[in-house]
Structure 1
C-alpha cells in the first residue's frame, strides 16, 4: 500500500519525482537493507572457495575485506548508472544493482583452492563478460524468444541447487574444517540454526520492511548469539584503515578462455533477468510496460557496471529482484530514493572497517543465511517453472537438461578426459543445463509422439488432479 503522505498517486508513479528528504532517506536505506546480505555474500563465498583464510592472522584476510568493500562500492556505482544514467547507459528507473549469485557456479571451479592469484582470472573474465553484456543491449529484445519460462526457470533452479552445498558446508564449520572433529558440531549448527529460525519467524509473522530484511535481521541475531558464545573475533576491525579508495587492477588481470566463455554465456542469462526486473518495476510501480529505451539502457548499465567492477576487484553486477518487490510494496517509484541508497552503498565501500565487521561474521552464522538465500533461489526457479505448460515435450527438455547439468556438477570426475577449459565450463552445472535446454527448446517439434514420450515419462499420462497436460493442451 503506497504512503500517500509522501506524494500524490501520480507523483508516486513518476520516476522523476523527489519525495521530501526526511522521507526519501529512510526509503533509500530500506533498499540497501533489502539487498545488503545478498550483495556481500558472493565475495565471501568466492574468497572461501579460493582458499582465503577466514582467521584474523591469515595473510589473505585483507584481500577478502577489500573484495567485500568493492562489492558495496561498485553496487552503488552501478546503481547510479541505472538511476541517473550517462547518455544511452541506464534505464533512469529505480533499479538497484548488486553482486550477482548467477555467476558463482562459474567462478568457484575457476578459483577452487588456487589462492589469491586465481582472482586475476576472474577479473579478466568479468571485464570481457561485462563488455559482452553491454553489447547485448543492442538486440536483447529480439533474443527473449530463446528464453521462455521453461529455460529461465530451469537456470534459476540450477543456480540454487549448485550452491546449497556451500550453505551446508558453512553451517557445519566451513570448508577448511571438513574432516576435523569440530566439523558439524552442535556448536556450529546452533549458530546457523539461530539465523534460520529468526529468519523464518520474521518472514512468516511480520510484514513490511522487517519481513523483507528477514535474512539480515536473522544474521544479526546469529551474530549476537555467536558473540555471546565467544565465537566472534573483532581483531581486524581495530586494524582496518578508517578510509580507503578503490585500487585499479588490485588483483591484476588474466585472460582465460574458460573464464571468458563462462562469463559471456552467463551474461546472456543475466541480461534477460534484468529485462524481467525492468518490466516488473514499470508494471508494479508505474502501471505500464517498459519501453525499448529503458530495457536497452538497463542492459548497457548492467554490462558497463560489471566491466568496471572487474577493473577494481569487484564481482559481476546485476539488477536485484528483491528491490522490485520493495517498490511494489512502498508504491514509491522515485529514482531519487534509490540514488540515495546508492550513495549510502558507495560510502560504506570506502570504509574498510565496515568490511572488517562483515568479515568477522562467523562462517557458521553466514551458513545459516546462505541456506535460506539459496533455498529461496531454488524456490524462485520453481515459481517460474509454474508458468510452464507441462506437456511431454517440456518434460523431456527439463529432465534431460537437469539430469546432465546437475549430474556433471555433482560428479566432475566423469569428464576428467576433457581439456581443462571444457571441463571447467561443463562441470559448473548451470552452463550445460542452460545450453541443452535452449537448444532442445529451439529444435524439438512442438509435439512429440505419444509412443516416444510415454516411455520417457514412465507412463505417467496422468488422470487425477495435478495430472500432466497432454500435448497441444494449455
Structure 2
C-alpha cells in the first residue's frame, strides 16, 4: 500500500482524507481536537470513579495524568502500527467502562482485608498486566473466539457490566460513599442540571454539540458547583509541575480472585474491538473481509493487549479501542491514520501536567454521577441491543435468564456465597464473572437448536462503550 504524502484531499469513498493521506497541520489539528473532545470524558472518568469508590484521593491526579499519557501512547501504537502491533487505522485508545466492575471488585477484595491504597493499586495493575496476556493470545485466534463468545454470551456480560455500575452512579448522585449530606437537595440539583443538560444537548441537530454533550454538561455542572461554593482549588499548589511516569510505582501484586473476572472481560473486549475496527474499516472505505482486513483485526486486538500491559506498567487501567471516534470520522470526513499522531501528542501533553488531574478531582460527586448515570445505563442497553441481534430461541432465553439472574443475584445478596471457600466466593461475587461463567458453560452444555435459516452474522458490539452515542 502506497502512502500519499501530499496534502491534497482524497475524494475516495466520500472522505476528505482517506486512511493513508497526510492532511496538513491545521486540518490534522482540528480533526485531532474533535477526537480528543469526544473521548476525553471516557479516558478520565474510570480513574475518577475507581479513585473515589476505593478512597484513593491523593493518588487520583497522578493516575489521571497516567491515563492521558497511556491513552496517547496507545493511540500512537494503534494508528502507526509497529510491526504486527496496531490496526494501522485512526483508532483512539482509552479505558472501557466494561472493566470497571471487575476493577472495583478487585479493589474491594484488597480493601476488605485491610490493604492500603498502595496495595489496592498494586493489585489492580498487577492483575491487569497479567490478564492483558489473555488478549494478546486471543489476537492470534480471534477468528475462532466467536464460537465461544457468542452474541448471547456477550450481550449477557454487557448487561451485567452496566447494572452494578448504575448503583455507583446513583451513589455519586447522592453525594458519594460516606457523604455527610448524602441525598441533600443541593446534590440532587447538581446531578439534575448535568443529567438534563446532557439529555437536551444530545437531542441537538448539530452533530458536534451531540458529540460534546457530556463534556459540556460536566463543565456546566462544575460552573454551578463553583458558584455554590462546592469547589476548592487550594491544594493545587501542592501538586508537582509535571508528572513523570514511573513503572509500577505502587508495586506489583497478584490475586487469583481478582484476575479471573478481568481475564473474562479481556475476552469480551477482544470481541468489542473486532466490532469497533470493522465499523472503522467500513467508514474509512477499507475492506471488511479478506487478508488485509483480518491482519488489521489481529493487529488491533494485539495492540489492545500490548497497550493494556503498558497501561498497567505505568499505573493506568486496561486500554481498549474507543468506538465513538468512528462517529467523528464520519462527521469530519477525515480517516487519515496520521491524525492519530496529533491526537497522541495532545493527550500526552495534557497528561504531563498534573494540574489537569487536580482540577478534575475537585469535580463534585453529584456532577460526575449525573453524567455517568447516562453512560452506565447506556452500557446495559447496549447489552440488550446485542441480544436483539441474536435471534433468541428458547435455549438462548434460558441461558440469558439464568446468567443474568445469577449475576444480579450475587450482586444484590453477596452473603449467599459466604459458606464457599474464600477465593471461590471472591471470584463468584463478581456479577460479571458469575454471569459470564454461567453463560459460557450453558452455551457449551445445552445443545444448540439448528434452523435452516441460521447464518453466521457479525454483531457490532461497539455500543457497549457508553461513549458511542458509544465502551
TM-score (ref. length: structure 1): 0.88
Distance 1:413 1:5 in 2: 64
Distance 1:271 1:473 in 2: 28
Out of 88, 107, 126, the position equivalent to 1:111 is 107
SS at match of 2:259: helix
Tell me what 1:275 maps to: 274
Out of 5, 18, 21, the position equivalent to 1:14 is 18
Residue 99 of structure 1 pairs with residue 102 of structure 2 = no
Tell me what 2:216 maps to: 217
Tell me what 2:242 maps to: 243
The CA deviation string for residues 154-192 of structure 1, in whole angstroms up to 9 with x for no partner, is: 221211112000000001000021xx4x11011001111
Kindly indicate whether the alpha-carbon contact (under 8 Å) linking 2:41 and 2:214 is maintained by their aligned counterparts in 1: yes
Distance 1:428 1:41 in 2: 21
Tell me what 1:48 maps to: 52
Structure 1 stretches lacking a partner, 5+ long: 53-60, 449-470
Residue 73 of structure 1 pairs with residue 69 of structure 2 = yes
Q: What does residue range 344-359 of structure 1 map to in structure 2 within 5 Å? A: 344-359=346-361
Kindly indicate whether the alpha-carbon contact (under 8 Å) linking 2:10 and 2:17 is maintained by their aligned counterparts in 1: no
Deviation at 1:203, TM superposition (A): 0.4
Tell me what 2:196 maps to: 197
Distance 2:217 2:205 in 1: 13
Kindly indicate whether the alpha-carbon contact (under 8 Å) linking 1:51 and 1:115 is maintained by their aligned counterparts in 2: no
Distance 1:352 1:399 in 2: 46
Tell me what 1:392 maps to: 394
Distance 1:303 1:236 in 2: 36
Out of 17, 24, 32, the position equivalent to 2:28 is 24
Distance 1:156 1:213 in 2: 24
C-alpha change, 1:5 and 1:87, in structure 2 (3 Å) is closer
Kindly indicate whether the alpha-carbon contact (under 8 Å) linking 1:13 and 1:285 is maintained by their aligned counterparts in 2: no
SS at match of 2:320: strand
C-alpha change, 1:325 and 1:149, in structure 2 (3 Å) is farther
Residue 83 of structure 1 pairs with residue 82 of structure 2 = no
Tell me what 1:58 maps to: none
Distance 1:6 1:362 in 2: 44
Distance 1:157 1:267 in 2: 16
Deviation at 1:5, TM superposition (A): 9.3
SS at match of 1:286: coil
Deviation at 1:342, TM superposition (A): 1.5
Deviation at 1:6, TM superposition (A): 5.0
Distance 1:109 1:383 in 2: 26
Distance 2:333 2:419 in 1: 55
- Aligned pair count? 438
C-alpha change, 1:380 and 1:207, in structure 2 (3 Å) is farther
Distance 1:157 1:424 in 2: 20
Out of 126, 129, 145, the position equivalent to 2:128 is 126
The CA deviation string for residues 431-455 of structure 1, in whole angstroms up to 9 with x for no partner, is: 221222122223322339xxxxxxx
Tell me what 1:332 maps to: 334
The CA deviation string for residues 84-118 of structure 1, in whole angstroms up to 9 with x for no partner, is: 12111111111111012112111112212444121
Deviation at 1:419, TM superposition (A): 2.5
